[in-house]
Amino acid sequence: EVQLVESGGGLIQPGGSLRLSCADSGSTVSNNYLIWVRQAPGKGLEWVSLLYTGNNNAHYIDSVKGRFTISRDASTNTFYLQMNSLRVEDTAIYYCTRDRGGWAALVGDWGQGTLVTVSS
Amino acid sequence: DIVMTQTPLSSPVTLGQPASISCRSSQSLVHSNGNTYLNWLQQRPGQPPRLLIYRVSYRFSGVPDRFSGSGAGTDFTLKISRVEAEDVGIYYCMQATQFPLTFGPGTKVDIK
């Protein structure tokens, strides 16, 4: 069974840092697209970042460039989102998602999400 | 950035009746490789999103065949042939042709 499990969310003051983790117990291939998507309270979905493990290429939405970093630990099959200089507008549920068999089904598998609240 | 729009934003439907959601992109979603990367996702209340349709018309694993996708270029449609109670939720289109990846605003489907 495919399972992505996020952790690391919580309440943080503006300007602070958090690292989100996503433990991936379901991937059976060596190269994947690993993605973070967020959803502000009562709002729609917003793509945040993507990492292709085949060549370590990473992409970010403009609003998080220079503040967030996506990475992966292959030894533990866990990927991360390091979030620095957090802003109130970063408050959201953060979902990790992964492709199922390539770019076509880019967001095939999802975690349950972890809530990040940025507030003083 | 490619802007995704959806109509309607809210769709009350009768159980057993069909439902249809439209999605339009501000630019063609045809990739340079010839593929069109338009996805449809469902988010039931209190749940994470779930992939329903990828590459315009391919049903993802485990998705009932009452869901179908169609379209080309900039205009796409998700159809539910006969709405069931478990179909209540918000439906999003999403493009993966170009960075940044973008989603439509969502269409809320509920039962009349």
CB contacts < 8 A (A, B)? 64
Q: A36-92: per-residue pLDDT in tens?
A: 999 999 999 999 999 999 999 999 999 999 999 999 998 999 999 999 999 999 999
Q: CB–CB of A44 and B49 under 8 A?
A: no
CA distance A112 to chain B (A): 6
> Tell me, what's the pLDDT at A82?
98
Q: Is the N-terminal amide bond of B100 cis, ω within 30° of 0?
A: yes
DSSP secondary structure string, A54-86?
Answer: TTTEEEE-GGGTTTEEEEEETTTTEEEEEE-S-
Smallest Cβ–Cβ distance between A44 and the set B55, B96, B105 belongs to B105
> Tell me, what's the pLDDT at A26?
75
Q: CB–CB of B60 and A106 under 8 A?
A: no
> Tell me, what's the pLDDT at A101?
87
Which among B54, B27, B52 is positioned nearest to B39, based on CA atoms?
B54
Query: Cβ distance B3 to B93 under 8 Å?
Result: no
Query: Cβ distance B81 to B66 under 8 Å?
Result: yes
Q: B82-98: per-residue pLDDT in tens?
A: 999 999 999 999 999 99
Q: B4-51: per-residue pLDDT in tens?
A: 999 999 999 999 999 999 999 999 999 999 999 999 999 999 999 999
Q: Measured between alpha carbons, how far is A117 from A110 in angstroms, rounded to an integer?
A: 21
